[in-house]
Amino acid sequence: MKLIIAIVRDTDDQAVIQQLINQGYRVTRVASTGGFLRRGMVTLLIGVDADKVQAVIDLVRDACRPPSEAGQHRATVFVVNMPHFEQI
Amino acid sequence: MKLIIAIVRDTDDQAVIQQLINQGYRVTRVASTGGFLRRGMVTLLIGVDADKVQAVIDLVRDACRPPSEAGQHRATVFVVNMPHFEQI
Amino acid sequence: MKLIIAIVRDTDDQAVIQQLINQGYRVTRVASTGGFLRRGMVTLLIGVDADKVQAVIDLVRDACRPPSEAGQHRATVFVVNMPHFEQI
């Protein structure tokens, strides 16, 4: 499995979370700030099967509004291997 | 080493943290929310030797109360490989 | 690439973030607490090329003040492999 760590703006996180839940994914939300200006960001933790990574990245891209400033992105996505996942 | 990312309810985190510290583990706590209802959750970061992963998972299971709702879990545990760990 | 998860005291995080940004790194900041005393900590997420890991660890060490208590550290650094990184 893979752990997806997606960082989105705090104006987009509710749309992303709603879409993730609609598609059956489980997500944990962590309030965050980005860069020196402490812009409001949200870090999302999503554990998924490896074959779902691209679908989740596409979902995040579609649910986030385009950035208002040049050079900015909708989201930053880190994907790490997760050899062990357990719901206990 | 392994990085354990454990997500527990915010009514269980103090019991889990106390047990972890009693057993000599170091833990970092991040306030979080889960799902669309923004239920209060806590994300715990714990770096451990690979041979301690199961002991930590068992500790988390024992320290969390059973979920009150059917279909819920006590905790979600992500384990990722951590080739490099440093206290500086 | 690598995902660096650095945990620093909340009296040092602004200096670390400023240095990271000065050096061209992107960083996400998550308010955290450490241990049972709930000391104020900050968890920083930094995605970097593998050959930059040591430079970032050195930067964190240099930007954090020495710990005031014996047995404490300036920072804890977790480094995990990140096979996939995307800005979307």
With 0-12 / 13-18 / 19 or more C-beta atoms within 10 angstroms meaning exposed / middle / buried, residue A61 is middle
Residue of B29, B41, B49, B79 for testing the chain C interface, max C β-carbons within 10 Å:
B29
What tokens were used for C73?
């550290």
User: Do A31 and C27 count as a contact with CB atoms less than 8 A apart?
Assistant: no
Residues of B in contact with C64 (CB under 8 A): 88
What's the Cα-to-Cα distance from A55 to each of A16, A48, B6, C2, rounded to whole Å?
A: 13, 10, 24, 22
Maximum Cα–Cα distance across chain B? 44
User: Do C34 and B17 count as a contact with CB atoms less than 8 A apart?
Assistant: no
Chain centroid offset of residue C87 CA: 20
- pLDDT tens track for C27-82: 999 999 997 778 999 999 999 999 999 999 999 999 999 998 888 899 999 999 99
- pLDDT tens track for A12-65: 999 999 999 999 999 999 999 997 778 999 999 999 999 999 999 999 999 999
Start-end of H helices in chain A: 13-22, 53-63
Query: Subunits touching A (CB < 8 Å, at least 3 pairs)?
Result: B, C
* Distance between first and last Cα of chain A: 17
**What is the phi/psi pair of residue C59, to 5°?**
-60, -45
Rounded to an integer, what distance in angstroms lies between the CA atom of residue C37 and that of residue C78? 22
> Looking at CA atoms only, how far is residue B27 from chain A in angstroms?
17
Rounded to an integer, what distance in angstroms lies between the CA atom of residue A24 and that of residue C70? 48
With 0-12 / 13-18 / 19 or more C-beta atoms within 10 angstroms meaning exposed / middle / buried, residue A9 is buried
Q: What is the pLDDT of residue A69?
A: 85
Residues within 8 A of C (CB atoms), B 7-26 only: 17-18, 21, 26
Residues of B in contact with A80 (CB under 8 A): 80
Please tell me if residue C55 touches chain A, with a CB cutoff of 8 Å: no
User: Do B3 and C77 count as a contact with CB atoms less than 8 A apart?
Assistant: no
Quickly tell me which residue has 């489980």 as its tokens: A26
User: Do C31 and B27 count as a contact with CB atoms less than 8 A apart?
Assistant: no
Q: What is the pLDDT of residue B38?
A: 86
Quickly tell me which residue has 């041979």 as its tokens: B51
User: Do C85 and A73 count as a contact with CB atoms less than 8 A apart?
Assistant: no
Q: What is the pLDDT of residue C53?
A: 98
